Every structure is written in C-alpha cells, then in structure tokens.
A and B are shown apart, each in its own frame.
Chain A
Amino acid sequence: MTPDGGIRAQGVRRSFGPVHAVADVDLVAAPGRVTALIGPNGSGKTTLLLMLAGLLTPDAGTISIAGADPVTQNYAARSRTGWMPDVFGTWDSLTAREVLTTVAAAYRMDAAAGQARAGELLELVHLSELADQPAHVLSRGQKQRLGLARALVHDPAVLLLDEPASGLDPRSRVDLRVLVRRLAAEGKTVLVSSHVLTELDEMADDAVFISRGRTVATQSVADGDRPREWRLTALDPEALTAWLDQNGPAYRRESDGPAVLVELAGDAAAAALLRSAVEAGVDVSSLAPAGGVLEQAYLALEEERR
C-alpha cells in the first residue's frame, strides 16, 4: 500500500442546515482491497460518498483520494475517481452505448477510444445485446449495471459504489461480486456502501461501520479465525442439547426452530466440535456460521448502542 494511495478521510464533517449528515467520520480504504461502508438508512453514507467523489465540500476534516485532495485538487481527484450514485438518473433518450460514449467524451477521451471503451464495458456488464436500446427501456437492474459501467469508463484508481447491488438479480449480484474482486485485484481501491450485509460479506476485505454520521467501528473481514456464532442442527435436537449440556460449549436455542447457536473461536474450533459430536453418536445434520461476519458485527454494535 503506497502512502498516499487509496482513500483517506479524517474527521470529516458535513451538515445541511441543522442536520448533521456526517458528524465525524474517519475512514481508510487501501488500494487492492474492497472496503465496505456499512450503516443504517440515513447514517450519512451517501453524503460521505458525495464528499469523497468531490461533489460536496466537507465542513471540516481532510480527504485524500489517490493522493489528491478533492477540495483543493478537485480536478485531479475527479480524474481518479469513479462514482456510482445510489439514485441512478440517466439520460433516458440515449442508448446504453451513447451514454457510455458521452461519459467517455466527458472524460476527454477521443471518439474512437470512447467507442472502444464503451463496447468493452458493455461486454463486461453483459449489456451488449441492449447496447443500442434507449436507456429508458432498461430494467432497474440493467440500469444499475450501466451505472457501474459508467463509473468505470475512465479506468479510475478509486471506485465509489453507492448501493451497487440494489435491484440486481442473483446472477448479476454474483457478476458484480466477481467484477469488484477483480478490480481490487488490479490494485484499485473499492469502497462499497450497502446495508445488505450478506452481499458485502462475500466481497469485502475491510469494513467501516458508520452510524448517525460517525465512524463507530472498523474491522477487517478476516476468514475463519474470529469468534462468531455457528448454527448447529441434528436429526434429534434433544440428543444434541443433551450432549451439549454435558460436553459442549455454552449454547442457546434458536427462537424459531430446533437449531442451536454456539459461540466458537474459529474454523478449527468448529471442526473439533463437529468431530467430538459425531464421535459421541450425535447425528449432526448441519454446522455453519450463523449469518455473516458483518451482520454479526453490525448487530453487536446495534446492541451496544441500545
């Protein structure tokens, strides 16, 4: 990670009149990694992204986008940032291809390069067949994909995706995840905001939680070795709980079913638990993490605030 690459925001604040949309946000997103920006509705995610995209001036705090300050070096910052807004307005009467060539021209590419880039991106987001349809016949998910392509036109070093998966069908979500991972692998900095946590679980490396305009936690979505809840079911629930009572770790029953939830230190602990249960003759039918890492972290934070 280069010292000035990626996104760095420190003590960022922004209010609209009496509303403190962003009260105090610290955020670091490293190149080559996907950072999730997580927070409930109205927590200031979109306002923060507008400031990172160089559209809004922060009232206080410093921002650096790939080494450029969007306030003092706005042009440089814009040239390195790809922004996909949450509310996707589009030039309805233009075709998908024209939308992309227009954006390419707006990024000062010449016409031939813009055409080539548009074709490439349409292929990438699987819109080639609809390339010459006017944008208003596209479905919400297709528009969303077009919006993603638009953010990629100038091959930015930093990508800001505001709720990119909303409206996408399962196939497109997988495609999105693969694409985002690939962009990160190319060394880009990707910041994804969402409140659909299971989605982020699969694509994010790091997570920043914000609530009421403040950064409340930062964590990395490491695989396996962090304590979390696992969901355990057996053919005979009574036998399972009886065995757990004697040998296993502390557990609690799931409120709406026969499954039980146990807190385990990591993948190794889960494997050990499974082995000893099977050896003890308990017919375990499933053992899996209960909910995503981010979901658990998020809910834990919510608990704390209550």
Chain B
Amino acid sequence: MSVDLEVAEPAPADGGVPAGRGTWSLSWHGLRTVTVLELRQRVRSTRWKTALIVWFVVVGVITMLTTGAFAIISGDQSSDESFGGMVYSIVVGFVLFLGLLVAPTLSSGAINGDRNAGTLATLQVTLLSPAEIVLGKLAAAWIAALAFLVASIPFLVWALVGGGVSWLALLTTVLMLALVLGVVCAIGLGFSAVVSKTSGSAVLTYLTVGGITAVLPIMFGLLVPATTTTENIRVWDVEPGYTWEETTAPECEWQTHEVDVWHSERTWWLLAPNPFVVVADAQPLNGDPEALSEDGNMLAVLQYGVRYARTGDDGPQDWCSGYVMDGDTVQAESPVEPVEVTDQLVWPWGLGFDLLLGAAGVIVAVNRLRVPTAQLPQGTRVA
C-alpha cells in the first residue's frame, strides 16, 4: 500500500503532542464538510423536490384564493384600491405557519437519527470538532428550511405588486422568517442531541415552538385580571344629569372616575417571542389605526396591537365626544388625544429570546457530542 500521509495535523517532530482543536473550534472546511454531507444525504434520500413542489402549489393556491376572495368582498368599485396588504399578510402568516410545522422535522432527527444509524460516531472519531458537526448540521437544516422560504417569495412579491406594502416590509419579513426558521432548527437540533428517539425530539420541538407561539400569548391573556387595577382617571364625560333621551348633544366636561385600567405594558413581553409577532413587528410601523383597518393588512394590525400593548393606556379617557344628535354637532373639540402607540420596538426582545433558545439548543448539542463521552443518554449506544 502506498501511503501518503496527508493529514493536516502532523505529529510534531519533537515527539510531543499537537495541541489540537477544542470542542468549540470551528473552521470553514469542517463546517462545509458536514453541511455538504448532510445536504447530499437529504437531497438523495428524501422526496425533496416533491415536497418543494407541493409547498409551492399550496402557497400559490392560498395566494390565489385570497386574491380572489378579496376581489369579491370588496366588489367592483374597489378595483383601484390596493389588495396587497391583506394578501401579503395572509401569505406571510401561512408561510410562517407551514414553516413552523416543517422546520422541526428538518433538524429534530439530525443527531439521534445518526446515532441510531451508527453514523454519528464515525464523524466523532474524525478530526471534526463537536461544534463543527453541530453547526454543520444546523446549517444544512436551515438551508433546507430556507429553500421552502425561497419557494414562497414569488407570492410575496405578487402581493407586493398589489400595492399597500413597502419593499422594506418585504425585506424585514423575509429576514425575520429566515431567522425564526433557523431558531426552530436549532431548538430541534438541541432536542435531538438529548433524546434518543427521533419521534421524541420532534414532539419536544413542536411543544417548544407551540409554547412560544401559543402558550405565552395565552398567559398574556390570563394575566389580564392580575394586571388590571382600579384607578382614578380623568374622564371627558357628559354633564351630570344628562339623560340620553335628550335630543341635544351633551355638554362635555372633565370628571374623575374610578376606572379599571389594564396595564398591558407590564406583560407585553409575553407576546414578543411569538414568531408571528417578531415577523409582524419588524416591518415599518404604520401608526394610523384607521388606515390599518381599511388596508386589511393583518400583520400591520398585529404589530399595532402589540405596540399598543407595550404602550399601555392609563391616560384620560373620552366618554363624551362624537355623539352626533340629529345632525347637531355643537360639541366642544375633544381634549383627549388618541393614544399614540410607542415606537419602541418589540421584535428585538422577542427575537433575542428566540435566539437565546436556539443558542441553548446548539450549546446543549455540542456538549452532548463532546468526546470522549462520560455519560450516555438513556438507551443509546455510542456506536
């Protein structure tokens, strides 16, 4: 056998031991090796093209149905109105929803599946560091998830052409979608390193995603009584003794009432990690509620709602203005300013939290792949 020693890490001439690379050392070469290996297997062994085509068709059908429905609802006279906002928000919401369903399956079997197939240890004994193995697998899963995202972009652009949505919004939306899917992949990877069965890690990943998507907002709702306090609030109210049978508009005046005030600004952060909130809040804010309701852009509505929750509203209230009696509008201008929602961003908090979850997944996985192993997960073999 002709033996050409090509190992990049030659034993030093002094007979010592090369310092080597630690658990966390990373190289482009190592990352690419693992990612290419994973993607090759994935492309060849799964019905990859079929899945992408099905995805493309489903998102396309949703887009068409939404556009059609909008045309019917708004009737003929709205032909000059923009339909983009609603279509856009529905397509984005749908893509995110499907993405949250698909992403866990892309990564939650990456480590325990290999372990069960006996191929994990063959990578671990090579000179790849655990971090390279984990991040290479994460990159492969993420690239797969991004392929689905890319397949949906034509429909987002179509909605954009319909008007009402800015290019900047498209950019932030796609970016946030990509990041959120990456986070879900990282969480799945973490669980796949901890749990020995692939089905188990998939379930845990879905539960985690469900937790930040549904459970936290539900908690936000359940905490409404706890965050509601009774306070003395200045109210722009009708004059005392005004009965609503009168045909003249009420005279309005300042009064002080005991009112239940919901301090949503104390619990808004429970909404922040929700992927839909992250995606919605990252777009440029449209602070005008009336324009929102006309446009039908549900993402913008969601963004407005979350910002409103963060703002909280314990200012003076107007219980009087706007009563128009028999065309008689002799009323003083309301001194109560409508609430301006905060321009403080919500998404960095939510995305930050999500990224921490993803980072935790990666760290757990890398630690589990450290060799030599002191402990094995229950019911697993090294090889």
Could you list which residues of chain A lie within 8 angstroms of chain B, going by C-beta atoms?
4, 16, 46, 50-51, 53-57, 67-68, 70-71, 73-76, 78-81, 83, 85-94, 98, 102-110, 113-114, 116-117, 120, 124, 134, 150, 154-155, 179, 182-183, 186
Known: A87-B383, A89-B122, A98-B40. 10 other contacts (CB 8 A): A54-B371, A74-B372, A78-B126, A78-B127, A89-B117, A91-B37, A93-B41, A108-B9, A150-B122, A186-B1
Chain A residues contacting B22 (CB-CB under 8 Å) are 75
Query: What's the nearest-Cβ distance from chain A to residue B1, in Å?
Result: 6
Q: How far is the CA of A53 from the CA of B19 in the complex (A)?
A: 18
Chain A residues within 8 Å of B29, by CB:
105, 108
Assess the A182–B6 pair: CB atoms within 8 A.
Answer: no
| Contact yes or no, A85 B128, CB < 8 A | no
Q: Which A residues are CB-close (under 8 A) to B21?
A: 75
Residue of B nearest to A121 (CB): B1
Can you list 7 A-B pairs with a CB-CB distance of less than 8 A?
Answer: A51-B372, A55-B121, A71-B372, A93-B44, A94-B44, A114-B6, A120-B1
Q: Are B45 and A93 in contact (CB under 8 A)?
A: yes
**In the bound complex, how far is the Cα of B3 from the Cα of A124, in angstroms?**
11
Chain B residues engaging chain A, CB cutoff 8 angstroms: 1-9, 11, 15, 17-22, 27, 29-30, 33-34, 36-37, 40-41, 44-45, 114, 117-119, 121-128, 371-374, 376, 382-383
A residues in contact with B118, CB < 8 Å? 85, 87-90
Complex contacts, A53 vs chain B, CB 8 Å: 125
Residues of A within 8 A of B4 (CB): 113, 116-117, 155
Contact A56–B6 (Cβ < 8 Å): no
B interface: dominant SS: loop
> Smallest CB-CB separation from A87: which chain B residue?
B118
Question: When the two chains form their complex, are residues B125 and A76 in contact, meaning their CB atoms are under 8 A apart?
Answer: no
- Enumerate chain B residues within 8 angstroms of A94, measured Cβ to Cβ: 37, 40-41, 44
Given contacts A67-B17, A94-B41, A106-B30, are A154 and B7 in contact (CB under 8 A)?
A: yes
In the complex, which residues of chain B have a beta carbon less than 8 angstroms from the beta carbon of A109? Answer: 6-8
- Find A106's partner among B3, B6, B128, B372 (CB 8 Å cutoff): B128
Is A55 a contact of B124 with CB atoms below 8 Å?
yes
**How far apart are A156's CB and chain B's nearest CB, in angstroms?**
9
A54 to B2, CA, bound (A): 27
- Expressed in whole angstroms, the minimum distance between the Cβ of A260 and any Cβ of chain B is 45
Q: Looking at the complex, which one of A73, A105, A108 makes contact with B17 (CB distance below 8 Å)?
A: A73
Most chain B CB inside 10 Å of its own CB: which residue of A53, A75, A81, A98: A75
- With a cutoff of 8 Å between Cβ atoms, the chain B residues found around residue A134 in the complex are 44
Interface centre among B4, B9, B17, B372 (most CB of A within 10 A): B372
Chain A residues, CB < 8 A from B372? 51, 54-57, 70-71, 74
A85 touching B383, Cβ below 8 Å: yes
- Top 8 closest pairs, chain A to chain B, by CB: A89-B118, A75-B20, A106-B126, A93-B44, A108-B8, A113-B6, A105-B33, A89-B119
- Residues on the A chain within 8 Å of B373, using CB: 55-57
Interface centre among A54, A56, A110, A134 (most CB of B within 10 A): A56
User: Is A155's CB under 8 angstroms from B5's CB?
Assistant: yes
Nearest Cβ on chain A to B31's Cβ, whole angstroms: 11
Q: Using Cβ atoms and an 8 Å threshold, which residues of chain A touch B3?
A: 155, 186
Alpha-carbon distance A89/B17, docked complex (angstroms) = 31
- Complex Cα gap A182–B2 (Å): 11
B33 touches A102 (CB 8 A): yes
Q: Is the CB of B37 within 8 A of A57?
A: no
Q: How far is the CA of A224 from the CA of B259 in the complex (A)?
A: 105
